[in-house]
A and B are shown apart, each in its own frame.
Chain A
Amino acid sequence: MLKLEARPEQSKLMSYLSPVLALAITIVIGTILFMMLGKDPVRGLYIFFVEPLKSVYALTELAMKATPLLLIALGLAVCFRSNVWNIGAEGQFVIGGIAAAGVAMMADKDTGRWIVVAVLVAGVLGGMFWGGIVAFLRDRFNANEILVSLMLVYVAEQVLGYMVYGPWKDPAGFNFPQTITFLKSTNVPKLFTGFRMNIGVLIALAAVGAFWVLLFRTYAGFQLQVGGLAPAAARYAGFSSRKALWTALLLSGGMAGLAGALEVAGPLGQLTPYVPAGYGFAAIIVAYVGRLHPVGIIFSSILMSMFYIGGELAQSRLGLPKSLTGVFQGLLLFTLLACDTLIFYRIRWQASRPSPAAKPVANVATSTLTTGKGA
């Protein structure tokens, strides 16, 4: 039978191969799924993996969808590396968006372009506030951050609902649950005319550099990671676990909030109940598939963006539900975690032999029998 055997040290090769292997398995399962649904699997895979790369416009759309994923996943990578389980980035994204919208709606026709900076900063602060609640409750009351951060997602969605159905509802919006369309001056500047892609892409790439430096070239980043890998060693070295908790949650909250602001003041241009699009959850997968490494996360965010766009295309072209994206995303993380086992263990074929205990037991039995007779 197959047996797992611990490797003397972690396999570096496998840590790079594992995401590729996981993607391959996901594609195989996807092919089977397409065939079961009676769709041409080649066409299905083409829509997911080729169509999003086919034209300049498609590429800019791909980059634009990857931007929030990249930003959020960078923050989450710091969290997961320091063993802080923030799974409520979706909520921090929403609150960031609400805060950004609040500032954007203050603009009037004389407001200068500087307002964009204020909008983005508001988003960051909003996200940090929402992440900060989690840090505070964990730090002060020892409340589990997984459950608290997740519960706050539902709370954030209700806050958003209240704002767009209540005080912020557009009076001229035919009673639709949405705010006014923000003034042009508050919109995040676009990179090229004719494309929706905006400077968020550049901000995200700059953030990749910043997070790389933070993680691998600063003492603070080192402390965070030691705390995650070996809490006892970190304590012994005098690294504060409280500081790590706050840093991780404020950073990831801020990044999610920034992503929310870029989305609301970018492609959306107003608040609607549809701001939460699952980016906060998908970013968890992005962070893992990217090996919690800023550069790796660039690739995984693009991959995940392909899943999003592919899902939308599959809906319009093949008549498949959009939730196919979620199926593939979940499958990818699941298979990735399974493949990651190969980093720490290797598989050995072990012929099942008769239990070695069988013989000695028999001997013992006979010996007691003989001694019994002798006595």
Chain B
Amino acid sequence: MDSFALLLAATLNSGTVLAFAALGLLINERAGIVNLGAEGIMLVAAIAGYATCVHTGSDTMAFIGGAAAGALMAGAFGLLVIWLNTNQYATGLALSLFGVGFSAFVGIGYTQEKLSERPNFHIPYLADIPFIGPAFFRQHPMVYGAIALTAVLAWFLYRSRAGLVLRSIGESPESAHALGYPVRRIRMVAVMVGGALCGISGAYISVVYTPLWVEGMVAGKGWIALALTTFATWRPARVLLGAYLFGGVTMLQFYLQGEGVQIPSQFLTMMPYLATIIVLVLISRNVTFIRVNMPASIGKPFFPGS
């Protein structure tokens, strides 16, 4: 029972990493931009957040640092993709390759550094309820932040005028342009906000999830987050659900090992990646379903007057 409560808590923790990144990518894709650079952004933000935390000792500053690094990286991506009309896939890939190298390069001095004592989080009274307390109410504040962000994003996309404009740009940038909306500027803002959220996710990994810095520690979570937006058919609530589902799959390996299941560890480590493939296969099988839900201009450049 106790180990199950811990599994639930770990699932929430691990799902939060994916939720922030996938919600950021959701904003991008709703504006018609696919950012394959998520993995690289998260790595650079992870070291930026970690370094900030080492020097300031503040989690808040770490998240601000990570978000700033993420927005900066995404800004470079946006500059090329939106203003220079480069191919989104190739540019995102370049950002990922750069991020892997750059984070390892600047992080070399931080592999020995340790963060100060990590605080414990307890929500008064609620954390003391048996089972439910340890499972849900002893988390880092950002875990609840991800849930709040999902609600805010859902409201923004479906209930606000600005959200409507963002979605219209994702569906048909030509029409939005004809209506007088500054398509490229709005896309740029969307890309940078998405990058900042990926950055928060990266900082969460290195400061909260596994509080240390190791080269390549994001380990494909950026790519899984990209798959999550498809899995969620571009809806915030489903993104959050999917993030917890994948968080659960990631954590299941440790749970199974703890329960003494005799499977080579490599096959357990494989599970989140295999799960991503399986989920992609299941969700993409229905071509019309995907086409109806996908923002229509996704991946296509928009250049007014061409």
Contacts and interface: CB of A to CB of B under 8 A. Distances in A.
Q: Are A and B physically bound partners? A: yes
Interface of A: 4, 6, 85, 87, 137, 141-144, 146-148, 150-152, 154-155, 158-159, 161-162, 165-166, 281-282, 284-285, 288, 321, 323-331, 333-334, 337-338, 340-341, 344-345
B42 interface: no
Nearest to A342: B84
A141 B267 contact: no
B105 A327 contact: yes
SS class, residues of chain A in contact with chain B: helix
A329 B97 contact: yes
B90 interface: yes
B209 interface: no
A326 B94 contact: no
B302 interface: no
B84 A154 contact: no
B91 interface: yes
B277 A334 contact: no
Contacts of A325: 101
Contact of A4 (B84, B101, B224, B264): B84
A178 B224 CA distance: 30
Contacts of B227: 144, 147, 151
B86 A150 contact: no
Interface in B219-250: 219-220, 223-224, 226-227, 230
Contact of A341 (B76, B86, B274): B86
B101 A337 contact: no
B107 to A, nearest CB: 9
A143 B281 contact: yes
Contacts of A321: 104-105, 108
Contacts of A337: 80, 84, 86-87, 90-91, 94
A159 B266 contact: yes
Contacts of B284: 141-144
Given A326-B102, A329-B97, A337-B90, A154 B270 contact: yes
B101 A327 contact: yes
Contacts of B76: 334
Nearest to B97: A330
A154 B220 contact: yes
A338 B105 contact: no
Nearest to A334: B94
A284 B85 contact: no
Given A137-B281, A158-B270, A334 B80 contact: yes
A151 B220 contact: yes
8 contacts: A4-B83, A148-B277, A150-B220, A151-B276, A154-B273, A162-B267, A330-B97, A334-B95
A147 B303 CA distance: 27
Contact of B266 (A6, A158, A324): A158
Contacts, number: 146
B203 to A, nearest CB: 20
B172 interface: no
Interface string B203-221: 0000000000001000110
Nearest to A333: B94
Pairs of residues from A and B, 6 with the lowest C-beta to C-beta distance, nearest first: A326-B101, A330-B98, A323-B104, A333-B94, A162-B266, A330-B97
B101 A152 contact: no
Contacts of B84: 4, 337-338, 341
B267 A146 contact: no
A324 B91 contact: no
Contact of A151 (B40, B96, B223): B223
Nearest to A137: B281
B100 interface: yes
A334 B100 CA distance: 14
Given A284-B93, A334-B76, A323 B101 contact: yes
B89 interface: yes
B285 interface: yes
B162 interface: no
A330 B102 contact: yes
Nearest to B264: A162
Nearest to B220: A154
B208 to A, nearest CB: 23
B287 interface: yes
B290 interface: yes
B116 interface: no
Nearest to A321: B108
A333 B290 CA distance: 31
Nearest to B90: A337
Contacts of A146: 36, 89
Contacts of B269: 158, 161
A72 B118 CA distance: 45
Contact of A331 (B85, B96, B98, B290): B98
Nearest to A331: B98
A165 B267 CA distance: 12
Contacts of B97: 281-282, 284-285, 326, 329-330, 333
B131 to A, nearest CB: 34
Given A281-B97, A330-B98, A337-B90, A324 B105 contact: yes
Contacts of A154: 219-220, 270, 273
B112 interface: no
B295 interface: no
Nearest to B306: A6
A299 B53 CA distance: 44
B105 A334 contact: no
